[in-house]
């Protein structure tokens, strides 16, 4: 029989989840435009190949380890809001997430991943 969670442990898990979401959003944004030229004319999007599975694994891990979806929801919120904020033009006019194919995928794919992971039913004993 598992012990019930206290309010303080829930709040700590939410803060950690939010921090991880922001961290993954920042790091994913930083690498999302990274490519590796394999053959002339074809670039492999290594940034997205690393960042999108990282988002998936973070959210799936939170869903598997914790009893409720709340921490995963908070982490997904941190990821999505961070990507949104970093997608805005800065005061100097620079943009971290341009409107190219990689930028569009990075803008929308984490949201789709989060929706799928959070909507997935929990199987087994609760």
What does the domain layout of the chain look like in residue ranges? 12-119
Contact by Cβ (8 Å): 19, 77: no
pLDDT of residue 95: 86
Judged against a pLDDT cut of 70, whether residue 84 lies above it is answered with: yes
For residue 19, the model assigns a pLDDT of: 97
Phi/psi for 96 (5° steps) reads: -80, -30
Q: What is the pLDDT of residue 110?
A: 97
pLDDT tens, residue by residue, 37-76:
988 888 899 999 999 999 999 999 999 998 889 999 999 9
3 state DSSP class of 4: coil
pLDDT of residue 124: 57
Going by pLDDT thresholds of 50, 70 and 90, the confidence category of residue 90 is confident
**35: exposed, middle or buried (C-beta count within 10 Å: 0-12, 13-18, 19+)?**
middle
């Amino acid at each position: 029989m598992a012990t019930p969670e206290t309010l303080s442990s829930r709040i700590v898990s939410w803060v950690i989840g939010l921090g991880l979401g922001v961290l993954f959003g920042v790091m994913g944004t930083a690498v999302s435009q990274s490519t590796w030229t394999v053959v002339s004319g074809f670039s492999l999007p290594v940034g997205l190949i690393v960042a999108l599975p990282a988002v998936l694994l973070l959210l799936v891990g939170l869903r598997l380890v914790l009893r409720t979806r709340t921490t995963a929801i908070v982490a997904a919120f941190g990821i999505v809001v961070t990507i949104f904020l970093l997608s805005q033009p800065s005061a100097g006019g620079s943009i971290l997430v341009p409107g190219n194919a990689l930028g569009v995928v990075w803008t929308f794919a984490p949201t789709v991943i989060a929706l799928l992971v959070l909507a997935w039913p929990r199987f087994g004993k609760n």
